[in-house]
Amino acid sequence: MKIKRQKQAKKSITFYKYNFSFRQPFQVLLDGTFCQAALKNKIQIKEQLPKYLMGEVHLCTTNCALKELESLPKELYGAKLILQRFQIRNCQHTKEALPASQCLLSMLGETNPHHYFIATQDQELTTALKKIPGVPLLYIILNTIVLDKPSASTLKHVEAVQQGGIVSSFQQKSLQSLKEKQGLGKDGEEKRGKKRKRKSNNPNPLSCLKKKTKPMQQQPKKTEGEKKKRSRHKKRKIAGGEAAAVNSNPTTA
C-alpha cells in the first residue's frame, strides 16, 4: 500500500512540474487543522513531508492562521506550537485578520502564481481550492499524508492549454523572453534603443610620457701616445748589398 501511494504521489508531482512549472524547494502552506491532525496521529511533518514529496520543502503559514488558533480553545494549543515553527508568509490582512481558509484562498489568487501546495483538513477550503487550476492538495488520512490527484478544473485547464486555447504562465514567460531577445516589446513592436554616447576617455598617462632617448655610446679618447705611433717599415735586405756598394765606388790600388 505504501509503495502504491508513493508511486501515485510521484506521478502527481511530475504532472505539476511539467504542466505548471513547480520546482524545488516546494512551498507548502499549512493551516491549524492539518497541524492538529498531525499531532493527533503522531506525524512528524518536518521529517515525513520531504520524504513523501521526494524533494526539499519549505513549510510556511500566515499570520491569519496563527491568530485563528489563538482565538480557539486551549485544546488546539499543541497545533499552535507546531504552526509557530514554520515560516510566515506576508498576507494583506494586517489591519484585520481573516479566517485561515479565506486567507489561504487570497494567497493563491486565480492561478496560484507562487506554486503553493496546500495542506489542510478543512473540507470547505478543499472544495474551493479544487476550483483553482494547478493547486496540489495535501491531507492526512489513516495516519498517513496523502497528495490528492489533480482536480477536474486542473485537468480541464491542461487540456485547453494543449489544444492551444489557453497560454500557460510558463509559455507566456518563454514568449516574453523570446521577444526581448529579438528586440520586440510586449505588443510585438520593435524597440528603438537610444544610441549610447561614447565617453571621452582621458588619454592613458603612460602613453603621454616622452620616450627616453638612449645615450650615444662615446668612444674612448685616444691618448697622445697612441696618436703618435710610428709606422715602422721594415727595410728589405738586398742580397749581395756589399758587393753592389763596392762596384759602385771602385778604388785604385
22-61 pLDDT tens trace: 999 999 999 999 999 999 999 999 999 999 999 999 999 9
pTM of the model: 0.66
The answer to whether residues 78 and 42 touch, using CB atoms and an 8 Å cutoff, is no
* pLDDT tens column, 151-206: 999 999 999 988 875 555 545 554 455 456 555 554 555 455 555 666 656 666 66
In angstroms, the CA 31 to CA 220 distance is: 101
How do the domains of the chain map onto residue ranges? Answer: 27-157
| Domain range 27-157, its CATH number among 3.90.1150.10, 3.40.50.300, 3.90.550.10, 3.40.50.1010 | 3.40.50.1010
Give the pLDDT of residue 178.
47
User: For 7-18, what is the mean pLDDT?
Assistant: 93
Residue 90 has pLDDT above 70, yes or no: yes
Give the residue from 121, 154, 140, 114 showing the smallest Cα distance to 49: 140
Q: Cell 506554486 identifies what position?
A: 115
Residue type, 144: T
Q: What CA–CA distances, in Å, run from 161 to 65, 152, 205?
A: 34, 14, 63
- Cell 496521529 found at: 41
Give SS3 for 237: coil
Contact status, residue 36 vs residue 80, Cβ threshold 8 Å? no
**246 pLDDT more than 50:** no
